[in-house]
Amino acid sequence: MENLPLYSKGQLALRNGQDMEEIWVAYEGIIYDVTLSRLWRNGKHYEHWAGQDLSAELKDAPHTEMVFSKFTAVGRLK
């Protein structure tokens, strides 16, 4: 994971499903591409929004962090 490019929170925020085509979310410092997930259409997944770090929000989710293993890691959060 150390060889992944670094992105700022501002760069992550642009991948929100509205400003750019990519839909990204971060968890524990790793940024994942969720663009192809039908659950993230338009950058929203239930009450969660793409383009941000979801680390603090995962505790309220009905799934564990293993859900991120389904997605490609594209970067690390600065």
- The verdict on residue 70 lying in a domain is yes
- The verdict on residue 69 lying in a domain is yes
Q: Which residue pairs, CB below 8 angstroms and at least 24 apart, start in 43-51?
A: 43/16, 43/17, 43/18, 44/17, 49/16, 50/15, 50/16, 50/17, 50/23, 50/24, 50/25, 51/12, 51/13, 51/14, 51/15, 51/16, 51/17, 51/19, 51/23, 51/24, 51/25
Residues of the domain holding 70: 6-77
Tens place of pLDDT per residue across the chain (78 aa): 789 999 999 999 999 999 899 999 999 999 999 999 999 988 988 888 999 999 998 777 767 788 899 999 999 999
- The verdict on residue 1 lying in a domain is no
Q: How many domains does the chain divide into?
A: 1
CATH number of the domain at 42, please: 3.10.120.10
- The verdict on residue 14 lying in a domain is yes
- The verdict on residue 58 lying in a domain is yes
- The verdict on residue 56 lying in a domain is yes
Check residue 62 and give its pLDDT. 66
